[in-house]
Chain A
Amino acid sequence: MKLRDPGAQPERTALAWSRTTLALIGAGLLCVRLAPSAPGTVLAAAVVCGGAALMLRRTRRSFHARRALPSGAGAADPVSIMITTGLAMLLAGVAAVLAF
C-alpha cells in the first residue's frame, strides 16, 4: 500500500496559497475603494501590488514544487512566507489609518 500522494500535496498547498493571496488582494481592493483619505489609498494599493507579485511568485514556485517532490529537495520558500507576513502587517496598518 502506497501512502504517498505526490499529486495532492502540492495541489492543496497551491490552493491554500491562492486562497490567502486572493483574500489579501480582495481586502486591499476594498480598502482602495473605501479609504476616505490619500494615505489609506496609497497603503492599500501597495497591498494589492504586493499581493499580485506574491501570486506571480507562487505560480512559479508551484512548478518547482511539483518537480522537486520525487527527489526530496527542500520545498520551503522563506521569501514567500516573509512577503505574506509583511503584507498582512501592512494591511493592519491600513486598518489603523482608516480608523482616523
Chain B
Amino acid sequence: MTATTPPGSSGGRWTDRLLAEGDDPDPRFSMANERTFLAWIRTALALIAGGIGLALARDLIDSPLRQVLAVGFAAGGALVAVLAFRRWLRTERALRRSETLPPPALAPVISYGLAGAAIVLLVALLVTR
C-alpha cells in the first residue's frame, strides 16, 4: 500500500471516469450494492454450472439437444453476469448523484426465462426418452 494513493480510491484514471459524477456515497450503500451484484453473479454461476453439467452429461442426453441446452444455459449465465454488471454501475452512479435507484429489470428476465427453460427441458426430456 503506497502513501501516494488516498484510501478508498482504486487509483486508475479510467475507473475515476467510470464513477465520475457526484460525491462518494455512504460506504454502507456501496457495500450493499456490491453484495447485490455478487448475489446476481452467484445466480449467473449457478446457470453456468448447469450448462457445464449438461455439457458433460453424455450418457443422459443425446448429442444435438445436449449441446444446444448446455450452450443456452451458459449464454444465459453470461447474459445475467453482464446485466448484473450494468445494474451495479447504474446503481452506483445513482447513489453518487443521490438519484432514484434503477428499477429491477433483471428479476423478471430470470423468472420468465427459468420458467420457460424448465418447460423446454421437460418437453425435451419426455420427447427423447
A binds B: yes
A residues engaging B (CB < 8 A)? 4, 9-10, 12-13, 16-17, 19-20, 23-24, 27, 30-31, 34, 60, 64-65, 67-69, 71-79, 81-82, 84-85, 88-89, 91-96, 98-100
Given A16-B34, A84-B38, A95-B73, A78–B18 Cβ distance below 8 Å? Answer: yes
Q: What's the Cα separation between A43 and B87 when bound, in Å?
A: 27
Q: What's the Cα separation between A17 and B1 when bound, in Å?
A: 21
A99: contacting residue among B10, B66, B84, B89, CB under 8 A: B66
Number of interface residues of B (CB under 8 A): 51
**Is B45 a contact partner of A91 (Cβ separation < 8 A)?**
yes
Given contacts A74-B27, A99-B70, 6 further A-B contacts (CB under 8 A): A65-B27, A69-B27, A73-B8, A78-B10, A79-B12, A96-B71
B residues engaging A (CB < 8 A)? 1, 6-10, 12, 15, 18-19, 24-28, 30-35, 37-39, 41-42, 44-45, 48-49, 51-52, 54-56, 66-67, 70-71, 73-75, 77-78, 81-82, 84-85, 88-89, 92
Q: What's the Cα separation between A13 and B39 when bound, in Å?
A: 11
* Residue with the greatest number of chain B CB neighbours at <10 A, chosen from A34, A79, A91: A91
Q: What's the Cα separation between A62 and B62 when bound, in Å?
A: 47
Where chain B touches its partner, the secondary structure class is helix
> Which residues in A have their C-beta under 8 angstroms from that of B41?
20, 84-85, 88
A16: contacting residue among B12, B35, B56, CB under 8 A: B35
**Is B31 a contact partner of A20 (Cβ separation < 8 A)?**
no
> Which residues in B have their C-beta under 8 angstroms from that of A99?
51, 54-55, 66-67, 70-71, 74
> Which residues in B have their C-beta under 8 angstroms from that of A10?
31
**Is A76 a contact partner of B33 (Cβ separation < 8 A)?**
yes
* Residue with the greatest number of chain B CB neighbours at <10 A, chosen from A12, A23, A64, A88: A88
A55 CB to closest chain B CB, in angstroms?
Answer: 13
**Is B67 a contact partner of A91 (Cβ separation < 8 A)?**
no
> Which residues in A have their C-beta under 8 angstroms from that of B8?
64, 68, 71, 73-75
